[in-house]
Structure 1
């Protein structure tokens, strides 16, 4: 039974495929096949004979171009009625049977031309494509002209009537018989078409839904068909894949290997079970594809490809990671949740002395001193809860039992579903680091001892300096005052006994004593400025300037100076005493250095660069004096350095004190040329917020 079944199946398989086009054209019925746009695409021979047309003359033409209404019949409705029926078929997607229609047929020119009266019984039936849309319309008709003419004859002779009845019955019987026969043929055709359509639909669904890339390739080097997965994976459209040789998409380095595989299939008929090559994505990148292919006798190749780019990357990354693990100087060990060692790298062998064969499968506790076993239990408990421990310093045991100071980092190993299945441990030898830390602690202790000694020494020197300053400010200055006072007394009492040269000598002695006294005072001020306390109070810039001007009131009147203040001046955190001293020194400097024959012209303005939040703030003192040459701009702030000769009074310490005041406040002091002549001296006090509500003046404020 089974053998017979196989033979029957084989025989059926070997039957020749029917030529459905020849069958259709030879059908005895009158059939016309139309597209949805009413273009004639097929016609039966019987239809051609009934309509006096030829197949080559009507195929590809519009239905109503071939069969128009009779222009000589003003009442003709054949075209409009048939058009309405065909429209109903397209809209409702069901067959439409029409009543008997008068539709005249054009005679060929060889038969005299013109139109011949005809009557037809039409039925229009839709044919659907795999997408469910109307693909064709079968226009089937019966020529009932004779029947209609006989019925129209009316009351003729009884003989003729009977003959007509007989012929009518015969005709109706013949029409019914032929219709039944055609229906049977159509049924078989429809079954064959349905089977083929279903198979095509199955293939379409399979191609569309497959996650893998399915294709049919030809031996000429082109794809015949590709699945949508090609577009999803490579970015190229189906048309682009079908119109270019597939080698266009293959990496140049893979051309030779790809051609060998194709030749193996085409020439040898061998299947390809696994072959990898690189295909170019439309964005220019390369994807690695793994192919399986089966050749067919007709030169086609059916193939499946899978994108394994990420898999290849993972392989490379895994290999790199394995190489890193093996080459690492650190010990990298993995255990399960029971602390059983699963992997052991070469770094672990070097660190602990065990080979992988000696230690894998043993508990990790073999490496832990007895008094530290609780650490492993705590670390594993954290791992079970997904907690990572980093840089845990502890002690472990070498193979020879010697202790080893290490830093341990423990991370959970996740398995399928994200569950923790083990622990990864990175163990680093920190013996040298611990030794360095111990040495650092000892060095730090030694440094602290030396700092204490140096601090004590500096404290002693500071006390000695304070004593020296006290002596300078009191004991050393006292003789100078005596020299000055007695010189004045000699000048006053014995002026009439001294000549002009003697009087000049006494004046020089007085000025020298005064200058020496001022120099000691400036040195004392400079020393105190260097040791001033850190600023702790908020001060008003205007109050500082007013106090400095008050002290110089007599000098200002004496010189006839003009002083302008560009208000408001900023607030800043400062030691008011020393800031006043700094401003005083700048104003004194401006009063001394003037152009010959001109009274001093001084301007005091705020300083803060515009557009800079939390920038340093301070004061600018501008004068119209001779100015300062660029090469002297830095030197004049050094002790005992002056930009001019000694013809102008001064000790050379005033600007040095200004700079000390600025630097002790975290600020700066410098000079620059003033536009129009003169100089600008800037004294800043570090970054301070400007006074709330005041206008912020930039460097050029006047």
Structure 2
């Protein structure tokens, strides 16, 4: 049986027997609705009063200056706005203007009035209902006191009866008005919710449809699902799914829909391929969908339909398939390149199954160890080929790699003695252990390469370097005695007053050259001791760095009289160091700063004590050290520039020795150099020897 049409509430309101006005809660109390009974009682028409303010339509009687009727009505209306509660006014006179057709002017009328609020769901006043009843005749009858028509007792009983009737009528009207207002509000809210849900459904970023009944009739379908189907809404709404989309029948969707409809258990499909025709009459396409079938239940909990949310993931699947194909091709190419590279490098591979104990070596790996293809591989056969002096180390490292808490990798260089009596060779092997989910080692993969030629070259280069360093040490040591004799002789000659100015100048030049040569010899001896003698020897004594710097500045400024060296001291600069070695550090750094800075610039030297450390900083301006020189600046035979040192004839050992002296004290040296900030060498020294003796 079809549902009855909803009632016409506006018609019901206008034809109701009561006198009603509906006002807006604005400043003018604009009239928006009126009943026919009210129009008749006030001698007005609907066209004349709708959209106008209440007090514009019903002004005060200008012929009665003492009237307060308009003020009383306005106060009542404002009270309703403030309290959001009905307000019943006492009977009062409110004159009504007569139409011109009836002679104009005002009629004296008496009214019984009640004002009621209509609230929104949020509790705000949306409308005001002004209900009134014309009691003019009763009031006039009471005022005249016509005893011939009604004695006092009858009049009293009539008044009581009228008041009771009015009270009951007001209560009935109030309840009816409240019911009508609640019905109207509920209908409006339901309509708003329905419109909101429909809008949300149609604008959802996911394709959604609702299928109802066992034939899966399409009840709702938003634009995205229609786009996926390749259909317009009018082509699918109200039709069974497989009638609207006959091409998808027989592809397994029916079974899943039936299962959800009968069991009420949702179904989720991921990247399911389905053949659909996106254009009407077009060819079928393979499309991939990820979708959800969610059961839709009625008020009793019975499944009456299915909500479908779907996504077209065809582009994503195709992209992944292309990526996987490209990755497979890249893996194949990489494997081929690796095979070619290993062949070019003569590198062998090995694979140890740690579960079964099986060993698999390629031909190149067998050749390295001198094991023919016909020889069965096992660990004893492999380890027997390792040189006896290296065998224990190789076995221990391999066991540590695969053992509990091991590194999981191994990199070794060792000697091989082939079992057939071949030539000894050096091999380098690298391996990686692979573990299962429980942490148990399962495979041990690795490579091996012949490094015999490299080892021979390294041995040859080391022997040559040792010989060169020993030669430098011997030569430097043998040069010290004659140079010392030359310096003693020049000092003796300079003490003679018989020397002419030309002779004295020659002696000074000889002395300066001998001092420079002695410094070079001393650097060479320090270099030899650092490289071959186990490091520089240190004799620690209490020393104050700032005081030592002041003494050395005086000596350096004597050699550079045209230059200025600024000295700063911050905090306690005392510690235990080798005074001669620290003086060597300070002198080398100050000489470097003076050598590589503009002649008119100042060199800044600072000693700073911070907690258990003392810092020495030497700063100069000028051309910065090239960035490519910074990483190798403290290596031997390296200088800060590519230019030849024509003045000092430096061989590039000064900074190398500074670095070794700092590290021998347990400290370090760093350098920073930029165009803006200049160049700063920072030496960091601990106040006392490090624990455990001399650092390595």
Normalised by the length of structure 2, the TM-score is: 0.47
Normalised by the length of structure 1, the TM-score is: 0.47
Q: Which structure has more helix as a fraction of its residues?
A: 1
The structure having more radius of gyration, on CA atoms, is: 1
